[in-house]
A = this chain, B = another copy of it.
Amino acid sequence: MTDVLERPAGKVWRGGRAPNVAVVGATGAVGVELIGCLETRGFPVANLKLLASERSAGKTLPFKGKDITVEALSPSSFDGVDIALFSAGGATSRKVAPEAAKAGTIVIDNSSAFRMRDDVPLVIPEINAGALKGHHNIIANPNCSAIVSITPLWPIHQKNRVKRMIVSTYQAASGAGAAAMAELEESTRAYLEGKAFEPKVLPHPYAFNLFSHNTAIDPATGYNDEETKVMGETRKIFGDAEMRINATCIRVPVLRAHAVSLTFECENPISPDEVREILKTAPGVKIVDDVANNYFPMPRDASGQGDILVGRIRRDLSDPSGRSISWFAAGDQLLKGAALNAVQIAELLL
């Protein structure tokens, strides 16, 4: 079903006015979508400030029919800004966000810099909006693969605790930014023309290829950073430190929607029909499970929409106890996996 979170049109900020909003990293793949989500969801904005690196300053980006000039990020950028949506990488967030927060701006940060800190809420609005209470002006937006994996899992977890989850991802280029999306297209074009191509953004050839996610591996566990995020963030968002999780994160030659093959084990037996019944009314989730026509979640369909598509809902045949289910899901990495979720968090602040 479509998102049931109320849209904030007409709601106001403290003092009876609309909030002043800043987007940090405005020219990036997620930045552009943040601006788009603010507009399409009718988020009340008194003034929109677009911030980026020196390199991008002076560019203009459209918002509600006007061109807004991108400014270079500086110490005074957040004067008068009520809400700042950050998507400029962990280093920028670590450097700039705490000061902005201290000066009174509420930061919603898309990087992993603060996600696992005890004093920072990590929020998927469909799951744990309540975690926002008592925030200290920094709120973290979860990892995109975690969002796509667990947004549909939460309503199951509430009815029949999910004890174990094994997830393999099929991750799009967009998670590595606009430059990676361009590299996927350029390297594929070169391949088709029989030309050589030297990868610059990603460490491996991407045209008609796939590879283990290009984040560092923890030698102690053998898991890469992306997998460690999915596992740790899921436990934090679910508020369930005991949940047993195994993630394998793989980058596939797809542009902007992640897919996941997910198997989970509940505390008590559960049937595919029960899962469908629960997901039918779940916010932010759409069932795409047309067995007769072999039509299931695909990145192409997930791209551009806010819902996580879920299909291939079936018993896990490797668990005879009847407690385990497998499904295949897809969600737009730039929207629900990043920008949309951040704007939904902002909506909760109004």
Contact = CB atoms under 8 A, between A and B. Distances in A.
Interface of A: 164-166, 168, 170, 184-185, 188-189, 192, 203-205, 208-212, 214-217, 219, 221-224, 231, 244-246, 248, 250, 252-255, 259, 261, 263, 272, 291, 294, 296-300, 311-320, 326, 328
A204 B245 contact: no
Contact of A250 (B189, B214, B259): B259
Nearest to A214: B294
Contacts of A212: 294, 296-297, 311-312, 328
Contacts of A214: 294
Instruction: Tell me the dominant secondary structure on chain A's binding face.
Output: mixed
Given A248-B328, A299-B209, A222 B320 contact: no
Contact of A294 (B184, B216, B326): B216
B318 A246 contact: yes
A283 to B, nearest CB: 25
Contacts of A210: 170, 252, 254, 259, 298-299
A299 B217 CA distance: 20
Contact of A168 (B192, B216, B224, B261): B261
Contact of A254 (B168, B208, B313): B208
A170 B250 contact: yes
Given A166-B316, A246-B326, 13 more contacts: A168-B248, A170-B250, A170-B252, A192-B192, A205-B298, A212-B328, A217-B291, A219-B291, A221-B315, A222-B315, A223-B314, A244-B318, A253-B253
- The residue in A170, A253, A299, A315 that gathers the most chain B C-beta atoms within 10 A of its C-beta is A253
A253 B219 contact: no
Contacts of A314: 221-223
A296 B214 CA distance: 10
A261 B313 CA distance: 19
A203 B166 CA distance: 28
B259 A317 contact: no
23 contacts: A164-B318, A166-B316, A168-B248, A170-B170, A185-B192, A189-B192, A192-B192, A203-B294, A205-B298, A208-B299, A208-B300, A210-B252, A210-B259, A212-B311, A212-B328, A215-B294, A217-B291, A221-B317, A245-B317, A248-B328, A250-B259, A250-B261, A261-B261
